[in-house]
A and B are shown apart, each in its own frame.
Chain A
């Protein structure tokens, strides 16, 4: 199969999640003896292209009109490339970036798409995907009809690809500005407030739930412990609903899906929608004052207690070192 990876970048290098998409693409290519190429979209991409070339040959769509990720423009560039060069499979990490753009590209190309893929296999020569449904309570095995097939993969399901021994070629894609859609204008990005690691990329994630009463307490308890442990902060939907944490913090079915080495749930009761976002973490710790909280059924270590008492003790203990 000819595989195209839509890589997400921060202007300097490709995101860790995109390296997981590369790993998925490499695994498919190994079994089908095809090819794998990375695609970068944006503007002033020389540094990013160098970084991406460590993983696979790179196609670069570099143009001022592509400076910001606007779905209709990006989808246009992707679908033109897929049609011209005959890609069989288009893949990206399942982030808000790809979730916005790839279904639109799939709509143009014929609709064969699987979201949030967590595994794949070949059945009678047919590529099949495993993907979660119902907040992760159920896993479906699906096959896609039509070509190209488009998938987003959960980074937590595929270990990031390592750099190859040699750099691959970088090829520029010509962009015809006149052909790009102009019905959407990018106005602004209000960047993230946090200087902490990204919740999907951190080794340790600490999340707060309903027991946390306000933003100051969240910053002091969840944030305070996170800073001591070099961890990322997340939250349950309850805190997003209450305006205590931004949407970008939400771990769960409709927010971020994380699988760190250690997940610490502070005052989170454990609705199934939240569990969907974190249950694949390697070790799960739950601290909650309610001994009957459902989170205790999915945690490895359960401590019954008030986070307002326990977390300051924990932070104080770390201060002493």
Chain B
């Protein structure tokens, strides 16, 4: 069993994001970066599958981007991933580009399962897993909150607006992780130290034979200002008067 976990490097979600004055991007100076939280959930799920598995199982973390992504791959190694690969790319990437790169990598590595976050918390596209499944012509189970191996495949509980859906997919498949799939473990100091010594394999887009052809062109960014009254009321009665008489919403 080989499990591939794609990892995205994103700004820490507790940080305030500032847009550059010319709207060409965000200010990254001094901004701390982490593994995309949903991808950390995917790493955790892969580790649990390996721990439960009676056969040999391997968890490979992969990231597409600059050398900076190594830090997040090291986090995955410290959590317990067996190996990590960085696919070097300096160009800005949209979901289609990432899906094309991961497709080429998956065809080379041939995993039984690709586990990844349901969305990146930076760009909020929520597209890459589904696009990757389409490009590979594999089944997909998005927004997973539970996975169980069954004969011939995987049974996945999915969190949807309609309620919990249960689907069975044959392998290989792409599964995207939702919040409640698990709680990612913290890496111990010992495992962090060990992860520092591990080799991260580096390959290039040329090795994979992939060209970047953008599909999403960002014309500009702007910060969103808050426009609120922020009236402090002293009591419930005062609040109800405001809602009834001024806002007319009750």
Interface residues of A (CB under 8 A from B): 70-72, 75, 95-97, 99-108, 110-116, 123, 128, 131-146, 181, 183-192, 198, 200, 204, 229, 237, 240-241, 246-248, 250, 253-254, 256, 261-262, 272-273, 279, 282-285, 296-305, 310, 313-314, 317
Contacts and interface: CB of A to CB of B under 8 A. Distances in A.
Interface in B97-149: 99-100, 118-119, 121-135, 137-143, 145
Interface string B149-181: 000000100111111111111100100001110
A107 B99 contact: yes
B19 to A, nearest CB: 6
Q: A-B pairs with the 9 shortest C-beta distances?
A: A107-B134, A111-B96, A107-B131, A103-B130, A183-B139, A103-B127, A247-B159, A96-B160, A187-B166
Contacts of B165: 186, 188-190
B127 A96 contact: no
A198 B233 CA distance: 29
Contacts of A110: 96, 215
Contacts, number: 265
Determine chain A's interface SS by DSSP, over half rule. Answer: mixed
Nearest to B232: A302
Determine chain B's interface SS by DSSP, over half rule. Answer: mixed
Contacts of B99: 107, 111
Interface of B: 11, 13, 16-17, 19, 26, 38, 94-96, 99-100, 118-119, 121-135, 137-143, 145, 155, 158-170, 173, 178-180, 213-224, 226, 228-233, 235-236, 239-240, 242-243, 247, 249-250
Contacts of A246: 159, 164
A104 to B, nearest CB: 4
A109 B250 CA distance: 47
B132 A229 contact: no
Contacts of A72: 133, 139-140
14 contacts: A104-B140, A111-B94, A113-B216, A134-B17, A138-B26, A138-B224, A139-B222, A140-B220, A142-B216, A144-B215, A146-B215, A184-B139, A300-B231, A301-B239
A220 to B, nearest CB: 17
A300 B229 CA distance: 5
A254 B167 contact: no
A138 B221 contact: yes
A71 B143 CA distance: 12
Given A135-B124, A139-B224, A240 B249 contact: no
A283 B230 contact: no
A314 B236 contact: yes
A133 B123 contact: yes
Contacts of B38: 254
Give the interface centre of A285, A296, A301, A303 by most chain B CB atoms within 10 Å. Answer: A301
Contacts of B215: 110-113, 144-146
A131 B124 CA distance: 9
Contact of A136 (B133, B163, B224): B224
